[in-house]
Amino acid sequence: MASKPPTWTRLYSSPASPQKEPEKDSGATTKKPIPEPRPSSSIVLLSPTNEVLLLHRVKTSTSFASAHVFPGGNLDAFHDGDIPAPGTKDRHVDGPAYRLGAIRECFEETGILLATKDGRLVDLSQQERDEARKRIHGSQIKFADWLKSIDAEADLDGLIPFTRWVTPVGVPKRFTTQMYLYLIPISRTGVPSEMHVPTPDGGVEHTEALFAPPQTFLSRVAANEIILFPPQYYILSLLTRFLKGPTASVEEGPIYYTKQRRELLKFVKAVPTADTDKGRQHATARIPWADKVMSPHNLFIRKSDKRVVLGLDKPGPELKDSGRGGDWERVVLVSFGKAGPSRVEVRLREDVLREEREVAAERSKL
């Protein structure tokens, strides 16, 4: 595939401007059709020590090129079953195809198989997994049929819905991506550690697979060592509130990590989802994290540092007037260039707006 700038970069590198519409002989104009978002799903995978898995995508990828992303990808009817059609109510909600697709993509990309046998995660050798990954990726065998052949079942119930992201209008390829949390059991009893070691897919889609605390990835972004796009950065920033990194105490480890998970799951289920008084008054605060839909949109460009401020409250044109939405309280600040996003930061909307008013007031005095 030919290399091209990431679609988010093309969209947000400058303020939106109206596109010239083609003229017709009759004098009428037509608008360029908006691409239908393609269904996809991803997994925010937590290790037994509550580290998060990210993959380093190849530079030739047509989406999120060279960036670090969560494992996942497009749904495939051959493997994942019936995919909700455009315009149907199930198109943008959690469902069987989204869940199976997430587990399949995770296995294809990392070799980590989220499937159970006799109530525990299945144990396979690396050779068995690598051979299966190639056959499934090449559509030589259906994922579900392969699982049946090894007497295993995809752990669909282990997936916890955690936001949906719809690509903004203005790019040639759009996606409606269901995000999930999956917590690999903390106890290693009967769960082989080898199955938790991610392995690259030979450079097909990514070159590195790594578990690390969310703070580590955010620190590397701040140091310009890796690229994270707004959705990934936003989710990792939420996780830092609960996943605090490793503990030196082997004995206290299970208790330490279990407490973190308990607080995270409590957060995921809690309503309202906002922290501030004004945030709690907004309708999006009453939408659980499992049902939030975010389609980032350009609010304005900051006068102080020229970063774009992205709102996360709107669900995209397909879900307009549906009553769905994302997060009004927070915004993402980001600079976009040829190399991708940089200076990414998640902030409270009211704080950013206040700073913008203060800057404007100071400049008016000059």
pLDDT-above-70 percentage for the chain: 84
Tokens of 34: 């908006």
Structure letter (DSSP) for residue 122: -
* Cα gap 103→143, rounded to integer Å: 10
Distance CA 199, CA 154 (A): 20
Gap between the Cα atoms of 252 and 130, Å rounded? 35
Q: Does residue 228 carry a pLDDT above 90?
A: yes
Fold type of domain 34-223: Nucleoside Triphosphate Pyrophosphohydrolase (3.90.79)
User: What type of residue sits at position 272?
Assistant: P
Position 2 pLDDT exceeds 70: no
Is residue 289 within 8 Å of residue 160, measured between CB atoms?
Answer: no
Band (pLDDT 50/70/90 cuts) for residue 290 is very high
Confidence of residue 191 (pLDDT cuts 50, 70, 90): very low
What confidence category does residue 190 fall into, taking pLDDT thresholds of 50, 70 and 90?
Answer: very low
Query: For residue 352, what pLDDT band results from cuts at 50, 70 and 90?
Result: very high
pLDDT of 197 higher than 90? no
What would the mean pLDDT of 187-204 be, rounded to a whole number?
54
Please, what is the average pLDDT of the chain?
A: 87
Is residue 74 very low, low, confident or very high in pLDDT (cuts 50, 70, 90)?
Answer: very high
pLDDT of residue 365: 79
The predicted structure's pLDDT at residue 248: 72
Q: State the sign of the Cα–Cα–Cα–Cα dihedral 94, 96, 101, 104.
A: positive
The predicted-structure confidence for 129-169, as pLDDT tens digits, reads as follows 999 999 999 999 999 999 999 999 999 999 999 999 999 99
Give the pLDDT of residue 61.
Answer: 47
Beta strand 38-46 with 175-183 is parallel
Cα separation, 55 vs 123, in Å, equals 23
pLDDT digits (tens, 9 = 90+) for 309-347: 999 999 999 999 999 999 999 999 999 988 889 999 999
The larger pLDDT score, comparing residue 5 to residue 32, is at: 32
Quote the CA–CA distance of 58 and 206 in Å, as a whole number. 5
Count other Cβ atoms within 10 Å, centred on residue 208: 13
- pLDDT the model gives residue 194: 54
The CA–CA distances, whole Å, from 194 to 57, 126, 152, 277 equal 23, 8, 18, 47
| pLDDT level of residue 49 (50, 70, 90 thresholds) | very high
Work out the average pLDDT over 104-110: 95
* pLDDT for residue 78 is more than 90: yes
